[in-house]
Each structure stands twice: as structure tokens, then as C-alpha cells.
Chains A and B, each alone.
Chain A
Amino acid sequence: MRIPLSYSFRNLWTRRLTTMLTTSGMALVVFVFASILMLAEGLQKTLVETGSYDNVVVIRKSSVSEVQSGVDRLQASIIETQPEVALGANSQLLLAKELVVLISLPKRGSDKPSNVVIRGISESSLMMRPQVKLVEGRMPRQGSSEIIAGNSIAKRFKGGGVGEVLRFGMRDWTVVGIFDAGNTGFSSEIWGDADQLMQAFRRPVYSSVLLKLRNSSEFQGFKERIESDPRLTLEAKRETRYYKDQSEIMAKFLRIMGISLTIIFSLGAIIGAMITMYAAVAHRTGEIGTLRAIGFQRTSILSAFLIESLLLGFSGGCIGLFFASFLQLFTISTMNFQTFSELAFNFSLTFEIIYKALLFSLIMGFVGGALPAVRASRMNIVESLRAS
């Protein structure tokens, strides 16, 4: 009882120019939609890759990130004595009491200030983060005003290169090395001696304690002991979990913003599709009367025009996705909304995004085509035949 699919398809092909224009509008919206989802996905990936499964981050209870957290010296030393902490090659503890501070530094070129994470590190900090490698210069000497910068910082911030000097915390800090942290959030950080930085920023407490587990399976026991100890108001998370939690809030924010934005944009594309489909219905009035006279029901007319509009949306979706897929070749830097610092990452296209973008394009086609299709289906046979 259905009008063949080729009828809808060939009508779109017959008016190629209008079809192309309408499709481009939809493609543009799907492009924006997909790129924001890809952005959120890429961000999340970057942050999740920032952590290692065997590492545990200890921060103050209910502080979302290291920036808001505080761990005092006594609490830090209690953690230090836990049996689960792994030992390094020289039987030193694989544990780092770290400080995380946010400062504002001017960018190269524009001089515009932007937030940067300063991390005060201990000797073991680098050892516990195998994804971080010194690529230029040397490590800072303990007890000195020396720092190393992530490659993304060195590239984009004034005074971030080796031999250059950065001023913050009322001191001058000499950059003595550059480290590469791959595709992780550390690339956008500056590292220096924790004790020096605490003095400079007049901070009495650490921000977090990072430690490597002797045995990964001991995590649950360690966590329970730390979190139930009345002297400690701390919580322990696997490092991977810690960054995943952070990224989720941020990615969610991006997704909600992106989806609200594209819904507004999509109104334009939907109206475009609606105009095209109304024009098609008006142009084919006689044809609709003929099909009805031959014996096709109103519902067949309705679905033929709806399918036409869904096809419009679907092709817009495919084209938009096609162009969005090229974004994977670019690296972008943006604000980390959790710490309000800079973060560099890639767009990432997943099957879920493809499926969501196509669904979104079909919804646009449906919404745009619904009213015209209803009009087509409600036409009076005799009147539409007289109109031809």
C-alpha cells in the first residue's frame, strides 16, 4: 500500500538545486553538532589518558579537583606510612606530596592573560607518570627557583621556553627544561619544587598526595582505611577515576552548551526544510490528487512526503559528518573548565557521535517535513485535481 521509495528519492533528485541548498543548511547544523560532541569526547579522552590505573590521588573529601583540595603535613605523613605504597628502585617511596596553584600568565603574541596550572612536585612525581618525559634541558634542582614547562606551555606562553624567565609568586623562575606529556593534561602545566612553591605562594598545606600502589588490587582496602580514619578528612581515588570524574563535569557542560546551541541553529535548518517541502507539496498538488484518485490512502501520501523530508535530513547528516570527520586532524586548546587552565586536545569521532548526529539530522527532517506532509495528506482530491 506504500508509494515506492524511489518516488520520494527521484523527486529530490529532480529538484537537485533546492535539495542541495536545504541539505547544506542541515549539514552545517550537523557539522556544528558533531564537532561539539567530538570536542567533548576528545577532552574526556585527553583527561582520562592523563591518569594511570596503579596511581592513587588523595585529596580532601568532596573537593572536586586538586585546586580546591588541601592536605596538611600531618595528614600527608600518615599516608606516607601506609603499607600499600610502592617502593622505587632505590627503595624510596613512590609518593609525591604536591601543590597545585592556578596563576595567570600572558600568552605569546597576543599578550592576553590565560590561566595555567603550576604543580609543585616531589622527587617521585616524574617517576609515577611514565607518560611525562623531559625532552629538553634538565630537571629543576631541589631548593631552587627553577621550573620545567609542558611543551604546550612552552609553545604558547610568553617566557615558557628554556632559559627564559617567568614571574609569579613574587619571584622570578627560570625555565630549565621542557617536558612532553603526550596527549594528556600535564602538557599544559608548569612544574617546580613543591616546597619552594609553597613558600612563594605562602601555602601551609599541600593540595594532594599522589602515590603508586604496591599492588593494584590493594586499592579498595587502602581507600577504606584512609576514608574511615578520623584524623584524615580525605578521599582516595584511582588516578584514572580522578581525571574521569573531572572530565565528565567538563564534557557534560560542553555537551549541554553544544546541544542547546545547535538546537537554536537547527531551527533555521528546519524552517528551510519546511519551506522546501511546502513548495514541493504546492508544486505537486495535481500529482497528489492523481495518486489519491488511483486509490492511495491519505497515510500513503503522508509517508511519501515524510520520507522525502527524512531523506533530506539524512543526506544533510551524512555530509555534515563527512566534513566533521576531518576535524580529527586538528589539535585545539581550550579552557579546562574544572581548573580554568589551558588544555590542549584533539577532536574525537566515535560511533556514538555518528549515531547521535544521524538521529539528530533525521529529527530535523521529520520536524521540517511533518506539517507539509500533513497538508499534502489532507488535500481534497477533486480540488487538487482541478488545481493541476
Chain B
Amino acid sequence: MGSKAPIVEIRNLYKSYHRGNQILPVLNDITLDIDEGEFLALMGPSGSGKTTLLNLIAGIDKADSGTIKVSGVEITSLSETELALWRATNVGFIFQFYNLIPVLTAFENVELPLLLTSLSRKERREHAEMALRVVNLYDRMEHYPGQLSGGQQQRVAIARAVVPDPTILVADEPTGDLDRVSAMEILDLMERLVHGFGKTIIMVTHDPRAAKMAHIIKHLDKGVLNVYPQNHL
């Protein structure tokens, strides 16, 4: 992989929030490369800026300065409308609280990102069913999120994230709301996405077991990145 350009290239990234007339620096000169097919864990104390960094990589937040390139596209210079179009095909989101749409069935939730593509109705159905098969919930596709357990909901959410075949998957504490068994299932599934399907995952986590699954762990503290080898834990 060394010969290929990294799929994510972050250069001198700064981000701060304004609270009243007070400026709160969150990310301080972040530079980071992530290779294709990588499973990267982002760790660090609460409030250290992990979610903020993930949001910037996913193109839902604006940096103060610095650049982010994803698969050659400099997303830090895209307009809001362009960013939305870009996210639709390039980013899969996995949230701590699943964030499924409660009034849509599992199938409809998974189909949702495909409504933003040019796929036909028939193709959308095929793709969504395929994704539900990958997460092993094909038999539950007519169920509403409220009828599914937390672990099942997170699997639907993963199916929704992978269905448009995005360039990167971002996960913010994907096991944070799950019991041990469900959490292991989710982590196994994510591991399978990386090894079996060649996906690139960037995951924020507090969970040491989750971090163990990852190839690389980056540690964020007060907005500054430190690199630890995996065996350091």
C-alpha cells in the first residue's frame, strides 16, 4: 500500500468554537494520513475534539484553516451544496445512537441514501437487500427501528452506511450504547467490512476492545494528535 496515495490527507487543520466573545480552540494543527483499507481508532479524553475531527473529515463541519483531501478531492474548499452531494456518495455515517429514521422500516432506512443516486427503483431494492444480507438482517427488513434491539438497529445503521459504497466510513462511538455481546457483534462486523470488503473506517471510541480491533490508534489530547503503536495499549 505504500506506493498508493493515502485516501485521507489532513494538513495543518485548525478548528475553534466561539462561545460568546470567548474563543475555544478545539483542534490545533492536525496533520494526518489515512490509507485505503485502514481501520483507524481515534481515542482520547472526553472533550478532546474527537467528534469535531471526525465531523470535519466527514464534511459536515467547516475548519478554520488547513486542508482535508479525501480520495483526491479537497473537501475543505467545497460549497455547502457540493459537500452534500459529495457526502451522499463518499461518506457512510455510523452514530452512537444509531440515528435511524423511526417512521421508516429497516429496508427504507437502508434505501434512503440510494434516493440520492441515479439508481432505478429495482436497483435500489437489490442494493438495499444486499446490504441487509451483509449485516444479517434480511429477514427483519420490514421491521421499524422501534421493533429492533439496539444491536440490530446499529446493524441496520451500518447497512445504511455501506449501501452507497462510500469512500470512507466514519463511526462515532459505535458501541457506546450497546451491551458487551452486541458491541462485539458490531466490532466483528466492522472488522469484516475492512478485511472482507476493503472498506476504510475511521472510528472514535472509548472502548479498549474496540480499539484493539483497529490497525492504528491515534490519540487526541487537547486538540493535539499523538501516535501510539497498537501494542502500546
Chain A residues close to B by CB (< 8 Å): 1-4, 6-7, 10-11, 13-14, 286-287, 289-298, 381-382, 385, 388
Contacts and interface: CB of A to CB of B under 8 A. Distances in A.
A291 B99 CA distance: 9
A287 B101 contact: yes
B61 A294 contact: no
B115 A293 contact: no
B113 A381 contact: no
Interface stretch (B36-44, B84-92, B125-133): B84-92
Contact of B99 (A4, A11, A388): A388
A1 B116 contact: yes
Contacts of B80: 298
B81 A293 contact: no
5 contacts: A7-B103, A286-B97, A382-B55, A385-B60, A388-B99
Contacts of B91: 293
Given A296-B84, A382-B61, A7 B116 contact: no
B95 interface: yes
Interface in B111-161: 112-113, 115-116, 160
B93 interface: yes
B103 A10 contact: yes
B115 A292 contact: no
Contacts of B81: 297
A293 B103 contact: no
A14 B103 contact: yes
Contacts of B198: none
B104 interface: yes
Nearest to B164: A295
Contacts of A298: 80
Nearest to A381: B60
Given A295-B113, A296-B84, A381 B61 contact: yes
Contact of B103 (A11, A289, A292, A388): A11
Given A295-B87, A297-B84, A290 B116 contact: no
Given A1-B116, A382-B60, A293 B87 contact: yes
B102 interface: yes
Interface of B: 55, 58, 60-61, 80-81, 84-85, 87-89, 91, 93, 95, 97, 99, 101-104, 108, 112-113, 115-116, 160
Residue among A1, A14, A295 facing the most chain B CB atoms (10 A cut-off) = A295
Contacts of A381: 60-61
B58 to A, nearest CB: 7
Given A4-B115, A292-B60, 12 more contacts: A6-B104, A7-B104, A287-B99, A287-B101, A293-B93, A294-B87, A295-B87, A295-B89, A296-B84, A381-B61, A385-B60, A388-B97
Nearest to B98: A290
Contact of A295 (B61, B95, B116): B116
A13 B102 CA distance: 12
B107 to A, nearest CB: 12
Contacts of A289: 99
B115 to A, nearest CB: 7
Contacts of A296: 84, 116
A94 B115 CA distance: 76
A7 B61 contact: no
Contacts of A290: 93, 95, 99, 101
A289 B55 CA distance: 12
B116 A294 contact: yes
A258 to B, nearest CB: 38
B205 to A, nearest CB: 17
A80 to B, nearest CB: 78
A11 B103 CA distance: 6
A381 B54 CA distance: 13
A3 B104 CA distance: 11
Contacts of A291: 101, 112
A369 to B, nearest CB: 18
